[in-house]
Amino acid sequence: MSIQTHAYTGSETDSGAVAVRAVGLTKVYGADRTAVRALDGISVPFAAGRFTAIMGPSGSGKSTLVHCLAGLDTATSGRVLLGDTDLTSLGDTELTLLRRDRLGFVFQAFNLLPTLNAEANVLLPLRLAGRTVDPAWFDEVVGILGIQDRLTHRPSELSGGQQQRVAVARALINRPEVIFADEPTGNLDSRSGGEVLALLRASVRELGRTVVMVTHDPAAAAAADHVVLLADGRLAGEIADPTVDTVIDHLRRLGD
C-alpha cells in the first residue's frame, strides 16, 4: 500500500489553520507523595485537515493528552482550544454537547451497540442529537468506507475490520471538526489495520476532516502526515513525513 506524504509546515497547514491546540497543558493524578504528573506543560498545535499520530513509550502521556484534547478528561492546568473554544472553561453539559456536535471518536474496542445494525450504529450520534440525516453525506461516507452491503448486519455478524469501518463511519457522520482515534488498529490483524488506516487517511484527504491518533505501532504512525512524540509527559519531538524507519529511529532515541 503506497502512502502519500506532505511537506511539514510547522504543525500547521499552509493557511495556518489549527484544529485543536494544547497550551501549557498539565495533568496530575493523585496528590502529595502519590502524585503522578501525566502531562507536564505540553503546548502543541494540531493542524486542520491533517492526519497526526501521537507516539511515545508506555506511560508517556499519549492517551492522557488525547483525552484532555477531546474533553474526556479535565486538565489540572493549562488550556485546550478547539478552534476558538476553550474546553477548559466549559461545564460538564457544555462538554457533552461539544463532543456530540463537533468531535468524532474511534476506539480500539469499536464500542458499537450490539442490538443495533450497522446503519443504526452509524446514525446514532445524529439520533441522540435529534438531527436529521443528510442522505447525500451518509451515502458518501458509507461509500468511501465500503460498508454499503453491511448496513443491515449487527456487529456480531461483522468482522473486526468491518466493525471498525462502521465505527469510523459513525465518527464521520456528524461532520466533526476533529476525529480522535485511540489505538484504532490495536484489535485488528495487519491487513484490517492497514485498511482502517487507509480509511482514516481518506477521511482527511477526501472528506477534509482532521485526525489525531494515538498509536504504539510505527507502521500505523507512518500512515500519518506528521508524528508528535511524547516522553515523561512532555513534548519530545516531531517527525515530518514519517516512515516506519524514521519513527523507529526516533523511538529508539527516546529510549536511550
Task: Read off the pLDDT of residues 44-70 as tens digits, 9 standing for 90 and up.
Answer: 999 999 999 999 988 899 999 999 999
> Is 125's pLDDT higher than 70?
yes
Task: Read off the pLDDT of residues 6-45 as tens digits, 9 standing for 90 and up.
Answer: 322 334 444 469 999 999 999 999 888 888 999 999 999 9
Task: Give the model's confidence band at 188: pLDDT under 50 very low, under 70 low, under 90 confident, else very high.
Answer: confident
Q: Which residues of 115-153 are buried (b: 16+ CB within 10 A; e: fewer)?
A: ebbbbbbbbbbbeeeeeeeeeeebeebbebbebeebbeb
Q: What is the pTM of this model?
A: 0.86
SS3 of residue 177 by DSSP: coil
Alpha-carbon distance 122 to 222, whole Å? Answer: 28
- Quote the CATH superfamily of domain 49-60+89-255: P-loop containing nucleotide triphosphate hydrolases (3.40.50.300)
Task: Give the model's confidence band at 256: pLDDT under 50 very low, under 70 low, under 90 confident, else very high.
Answer: low
Task: Read off the pLDDT of residues 245-255 as tens digits, 9 standing for 90 and up.
Answer: 999 999 988 86
What local confidence, expressed as pLDDT, does residue 186 receive?
A: 84
Number of helices (H) and strands (E), helices first, in the chain? 8, 10
Task: Give the model's confidence band at 244: pLDDT under 50 very low, under 70 low, under 90 confident, else very high.
Answer: very high
229: β partners: 55, 237
> Is 184's pLDDT higher than 90?
no
Q: And the C-alpha cell for 158?
A: 461483522
